[in-house]
Amino acid sequence: MSTNLPTQHHEAPDSEDRPSAAFTRVPPNNLDAERAVLGSLILSGTRNTASHRYFGEILDTGLTQEEYYLPAHGTTHRAIRALHEAGGPVDAITLAAHLTRTGELTRVGGAAYLHTLVQAVPTAANGVEYAEIVRAKAFRRAVIEAAQRILQYAYSEEGDENEVRELVEQQLTEIIAGTPGLHEAPPTVDDLYLDFVADLEDIQNGKKTGLTYGFADLDAVTSGMHPGNVTVIAAKSGVGKSTLALNTAVAAAKSGAKVMFSSLEMSAVELMQKITAAEGKIALHHMTHQGLLTPEGWETVRRLGPDLFRSLPLRVYRPDGAALGNIASAARACARDGGLDLVVLDYLQLVETAQSRTVTREQAVAGVSRGLKNLSVQLGCHVIALSQLNDDGLMRESRAIKNDATVVIVVQRPDVDDKESARAGEVDFVIEKNRYGPSGVRVTAAAQLHYSRFIDMTQT
């Protein structure tokens, strides 16, 4: 049967003018194993079937699109993951439909080739072994590429000895970190006990606390923000959920936490304006309208550069696209470059999701919510995800979002609906869910939105 796929290039005859055999040999690959992995994923991709557990086991190997030698196979792998993360079934038919929508079906060999992948696999139970073969070949290719980069840099005579050493260390570190292999068996409770006791002593003695939200009462109720957990901040439009999230991001960064703030609504300039207003106590509209910034305001802006921004471990990410993969990729880059303690996403419903007739909006958002939870665990960081409330006060697509959250904070301002409210200038943080503490608690703070900030009542 014709597969319509590009054929593998074979090694060309030797030639005297070739600089090195390392640049001309066919890189290590195993296309049979690649086909077997994809076939196993398609066979086991439907939920509530006996073989579906193999699907998760294959993904747990860490195999990525980039590790396939044949680009068409990598594209197919990415499409399978997209269908799965959107909550839909994965089989040859749904996969072909997805690839048709993305305009990639012909590129991967057509619908017939997808069925060929399935027919080539006797059982999905061996999918993990197939995936490890693919990863092992990819690892060898990465070693070759790293060695070539080192050789090219060494031959170029660029840089000094220290720069050459740094490049070699970086390349070798990345190679070692990417070594493929099956996961080891999890530790027993006996292995965990001593670390647990040490951790418990630190908590009881006040040596270990979570990242601060920037509000003393909120920290006391929730015990702060901890790695592997998700906080959802929910509010109606215009109440101030973005302000709260940005205030928290800055407070955590000022305490030494490494933070990435990803906004799908505001530009980097708008975010800098809001941070400057809050930290410098400059009226926000003075910075957004011509001629309103006073000499004293200009001096404050100048002072914040060396006094705050130069040392604040806060990164602002404004993605070109709004897919979860873009945000996760940026977070992983931050984790590699100095570490990452907190990710803030503004806001959840703006994240792009895969479109499918078989996937509801709630299922799509559930996939994003689960992806953020997984990201917090994988990177060992805390995630704050903002969520929009409907006019009836219910969170959009709320069930899945609440299930994945450790803490749910609903922001309410009495003076939004009642302009004559006696509590004008106040804001309530209602703790609707608190996995490690009391829920139903209402924490009150002061709203100073002209400075784009909320502060503890004791600071007023």
The whole-number average pLDDT for the span 333-345 is 90
Question: Residue 22 has what pLDDT?
Answer: 45
Residue 340 to residues 209, 257, 368, 386, Cα–Cα distance (Å): 17, 8, 20, 19
CATH of 21-177, one of 3.40.50.300, 1.10.860.10, 1.10.260.40, 3.90.550.10: 1.10.860.10
Q: Taking a C-beta distance cutoff of 8 angstroms, is the pair 33, 158 a contact?
A: no
pTM to 2 decimal places: 0.61
Provide φ and ψ at 104, rounded to 5°: -115, 0
Which amino acid would we find at residue 181?
A: G
**Identity of the residue numbered 246:** L
**List of residues 6+ apart from 85 with CB closer than 8 A:** 324, 354, 367, 370, 371
Report whether pLDDT(184) > 70: no
Matching CATH topology for 21-177 and 216-459? Answer: no
Per-domain boundaries in the chain: 21-177, 216-459
H runs (alpha helix) in 157-267: 161-177, 189-204, 216-222, 241-254
* The one-letter amino acid at 274: K
What is the C-alpha separation between 80 and 74, in angstroms, rounded?
Answer: 10
Q: What is the pLDDT of residues 228-280, one digit of tens each?
A: 999 999 988 888 899 999 999 999 999 999 999 998 888 889 999 999 999 99
pLDDT higher for 209 or 67?
A: 67
- Report the distance separating Cα 205 and Cα 47, nearest Å: 46
pLDDT of the residue at 145? 85
Give tens-digit pLDDT for 140-174: 998 888 888 888 888 887 777 767 777 777 777 66
User: Does the domain formed by 216-459 have CATH 3.40.50.2000?
Assistant: no
